[in-house]
Chains A and B, each alone.
Chain A
Amino acid sequence: SAVISQKPSRDICQRGTSLTIQCQVDSQVTMMFWYRQQPGQSLTLIATANQGSEATYESGFVIDKFPISRPNLTFSTLTVSNMSPEDSSIYLCSVEQGVSSGNTIYFGEGSWLTVV
């Protein structure tokens, strides 16, 4: 299975600042995904990041708030911009191994952000 490392694992952020979360995978993957999990809630997809193209955002998420980079096949970053307490969440990076629909989706350890 893919090994996915996220940094930071936890952070406390000041309101109005921005934070960039890094996701590193130990193998090349075509698609990387960023999810958000608000406190006590389930996971919601923010965007899908393909190498060499702009990320595709889900309804309710915009590039200005959550800019994403995907410079190569093993790395991606998610920035949470101009943070407010409502952005306090776990942010998770995930990848799919393989290209067929029967393959597995793995997640990183998550990045816990608390905005104060």
Chain B
Amino acid sequence: AQKITQTQPGMFVQEKEAVTLDCTYDTSDPSYGLFWYKQPSSGEMIFLIYQGSYDQQNATEGRYSLNFQKARKSANLVISASQLGDSAMYFCAMREASGGSNYKLTFGKGTLLTVNP
């Protein structure tokens, strides 16, 4: 089974509107972290936001917020007031605390976001 599932291969949003990118995960580890990264066409991976499994509140970073629903094992990224520069591939990733590769990130397949003017 996939550990990280991003069901939206592509998403479109109008400039200045909000958009939600879905991410569900699968783990039996009680301690884990969830990450979102943005990858523009240049190829770099830009860290956006982090949510720890024990964090009581949803993470926020500027226009980015993470809708963390632990019981549903979902960690959706919400981008408010979309900008043209937000057009990029977005990856959800998870790190589990246990196991042989304690610091290994497992990535989803990504969602390509296009912001329309």
Contact = CB atoms under 8 A, between A and B. Distances in A.
Contacts of B35: 104-105
B107 interface: yes
Contact of A33 (B31, B33, B37, B103): B103
Of the candidates B45, B50, B97, B101, the one having the most CB atoms from chain A within 10 angstroms of its own CB is B45
Contacts of B43: 37, 90, 109-110, 112
Interface residues of A, number: 27
A43 B91 contact: yes
A42 B110 CA distance: 7
A56 B99 CA distance: 14
Task: Please tell me the size bucket of the interface on B.
Answer: 20 to 34
A9 to B, nearest CB: 9
29 contacts: A1-B47, A31-B103, A37-B43, A41-B109, A42-B91, A42-B107, A42-B109, A43-B45, A43-B91, A43-B93, A43-B105, A43-B107, A48-B103, A48-B104, A56-B101, A92-B45, A94-B45, A94-B105, A96-B103, A101-B31, A101-B33, A102-B52, A104-B35, A106-B47, A107-B45, A108-B44, A109-B42, A110-B44, A112-B43
